[in-house]
Amino acid sequence: MVTKRQVPTVRLRRLAAELRRLRAVAELTQGDVAEATGINTATLYRIESAKVRPQRRTLMTLLELYQVPQLRRGEVLALLQDNGEQSWLRPYHADLRDGYIEYIGLEAEARAVWNYESLHVPGLLQTADYYRAVVRSVLHAADEDEIDRRVRVRLERYSVLVKDEPLQFRAVLDEAAIRRAVGGPEVMCDQLRHMVSAAALPNVTLQIIPFTAGAHAGMPGSFALLSFPEAEGPEIIYVDSRAGDIFIEAAEDLDRYGDTFDRLVSLALSPDESVSLIAEAAGEFGERAEGAA
């Protein structure tokens, strides 16, 4: 039986941050709170780090201790409601990293995602055959059933781009991402044509940094910046690394990554030029596929 994992949603992250802020305003340590309420420090740490969802009575106890006004209490309590993780993900928990599950949940709640990719096509735009080739190259021990399940999850993510209030998606790619023959010429031809089609959506913008641009600020690696409703700018940075899934929320890091993304956008070809380059690369892969047939 697959056990449902607790992963932070946007609301749970905001609730944790607000509780940390309220405790700081009240000038109380976690030890002070534990002594006054009977909530042990380990539980309080997990609540304040968004590792667990507090019970309503626990939250009310904290708000009472912090002397939060009634109107503000209602706003904080609203964060306790979980519009949470996508239910379609539950059958796939055994195959996916906790961090990846968390990212998918955040992506589904996001208003906008700015994605820089140095080597791969953005996950949201990957075709089944492209992603299948990636998984096979990375997870050598994965059997076909596991690969199929991972592919279904990857394809399901595309729905955020075509729902009633679609995600605003802007991706900047190094030219290497559209030149590397992942899965072979035919797979790449189909993948690049799919990207051209996706770029026609009004909420999708693609830009390519050409090889001729030389060295640039994105060479250290890929990242995504996520913004959410009512937020003026990005609130979370996501980095998928060999060391694991990394989520960064510090203001100085958000500014730094945001500045990096702006510089990559200014260095890249225009969206129209980029789509033309992608289509050109698709044609070249198509010719190679026909020549190999």
Alpha-helix runs per DSSP H in the chain: 10-25, 30-37, 41-48, 56-65, 70-78, 98-109, 128-138, 144-156, 176-179, 185-199, 251-267, 271-292
Q: Which two tokens stand for residue 26?
A: 């009240």
CB contact at 8 A, 153 and 209: no
Q: Where are the domains of the chain?
A: 10-78, 87-292
**Domain 10-78, what fold?**
434 Repressor (Amino-terminal Domain) (1.10.260)
In whole angstroms, give the CA distance from residue 269 to residue 211.
Answer: 11
Say how many C-beta atoms besides its own lie within 10 A of residue 57's C-beta. 8
Angle at 20 between CA 19 and CA 23, to 5 degrees: 85
pLDDT, tens only, 118-155: 999 999 999 999 999 999 998 888 889 999 999 999 99
Per-residue pLDDT of the chain (293 residues; tens, 9 = 90+): 333 444 456 678 778 888 998 999 999 999 999 999 999 999 999 999 888 889 999 999 999 999 999 988 888 888 887 554 455 556 656 667 777 888 888 898 889 999 999 999 999 999 999 999 999 998 888 889 999 999 999 999 999 999 999 999 999 999 999 999 999 999 999 999 999 999 999 999 999 999 999 999 999 999 999 998 766 778 889 998 877 788 888 889 999 999 999 999 999 999 999 999 999 999 999 999 998 87
pLDDT of 137: 92
Report the predicted TM-score, pTM, of the whole model to 2 decimal places. Answer: 0.78
The beta-carbon contacts of 285-293 under 8 Å, at least 24 apart in sequence, are 285/181, 285/185, 285/186, 285/188, 285/189, 285/192, 286/185, 286/186, 286/189, 288/185, 289/184, 289/185, 289/186, 289/189, 292/185
Give the span between the Cα atoms of 168 and 113, in whole angstroms.
6
CA dist 50 and 10 (Å) reads 10
pLDDT in tens, 245-291: 888 888 899 999 999 999 999 999 999 999 999 999 999 999 999 98
Q: What CATH number labels 87-292? A: 3.30.870
Q: To the nearest whole percent, how much of the chain has pLDDT over 90? A: 66
Half-sphere exposure of 15 (CA within 13 A, CB side): 31
Residue 71, number of CB atoms within 10 A of its CB: 7
Cα radius of gyration (the chain): 22
| DSSP classification of residue 53 | P
